[in-house]
Amino acid sequence: MSLDSNMSEIVNISFDKTFENCKLPINQLLTTEQQAIIMDNINIVSYNRKDIIVKQFSASSHIYYIIKGILKVSSEQRKGKNLVVKIDTTGSFVGLISLLGGDSYNFTVTAVENCTLAQIPIATLKSVMLQNSRFALEISQLTCRHGLFLVNRLAGLLYKQLPGRVADLILYFADDIFCNNEFEFPANRTELAELCGTTKESLIRTLSEFNHDRIIELQRNRIRIISYDILKTLSRFG
């Protein structure tokens, strides 16, 4: 009860500035009425670390906007073989490609830390797209950029060998997620391995080597990049 009322307070605060950090300038693109359509149909939901937000192959009619938090988007390849295709954070849309391309999720989405998400019916989004072609074009460009990012990432996993892929992993967190040379991995070794398309043992070994070779300084989840240049080189020559 106390938790519930506390929650709804958070929800209201967040609600007002929902699209503040959005990678798409929603507020410039949409008329006040169009914004209202979205706002009226939005639903704010909170998740705890490890909560499954959506399950691969499940039919769904909602996409998500990340108000706050970090989540992972993964593809279950077979029993016990998981591939984390990307990490998403505040300001991103989740499920856009899946629900514009079909009517079920192609990926499992899991909270990596506590998350506050806005649930948006895909029908609402589509109706606004139909009312506002500029917005439709922008959404279309956004999904294309996402698609290209994924394809490039997977092609990298396919052709680079472990040192290159682990370098990419570290650079991904440092440059794209935390914008900092020093950070705490928001995931355990198994999850990190799944981000590199490898096993936890192989990931651990490679990280230990980097640590030993003083490319990084690593203690448990805390990592500091010592030589950004070497990581870049490893990434390039994979």
One residue of 190, 229, 232, 236 binding DNA per CB under 7 A: 190
Asked whether 131 and 124 are in contact (CB, 8 A), the reply is: no
Residue 174 CB, nearest approach to DNA (Å) = 18
Indicate whether 238 belongs to the interface with its own copies (CB under 8 A).
yes
Indicate whether 98 belongs to the interface with its own copies (CB under 8 A).
yes
Task: Specify the 3-state DSSP secondary structure of 116.
Answer: strand
Partner that binds at residue 101, options its own copies, DNA, none, CB closer than 5 to 8 Å by kind: its own copies
DSSP letters for 52-71: EEE-TT-B-SEEEEEEE-EE
Indicate whether 157 belongs to the interface with its own copies (CB under 8 A).
yes
Indicate whether 141 belongs to the interface with its own copies (CB under 8 A).
yes
Residue 56 CB, nearest approach to DNA (Å) = 20
Residue number, 116 or 206, with CB nearest to its own copies: 206
Bridge partners, residue 223, by sequence: 183, 218
Residue 172 CB, nearest approach to DNA (Å) = 17
∠ CA 38-63-197, rounded to 5°: 150
| Pairwise CA distance, residues 61 & 131, whole Å | 19
Amino acid at 99: L
DSSP 238: -
- Contact residues: DNA, CB under 7 A: 161-163, 188-190, 197-202, 204-205, 207-208, 218, 220-221
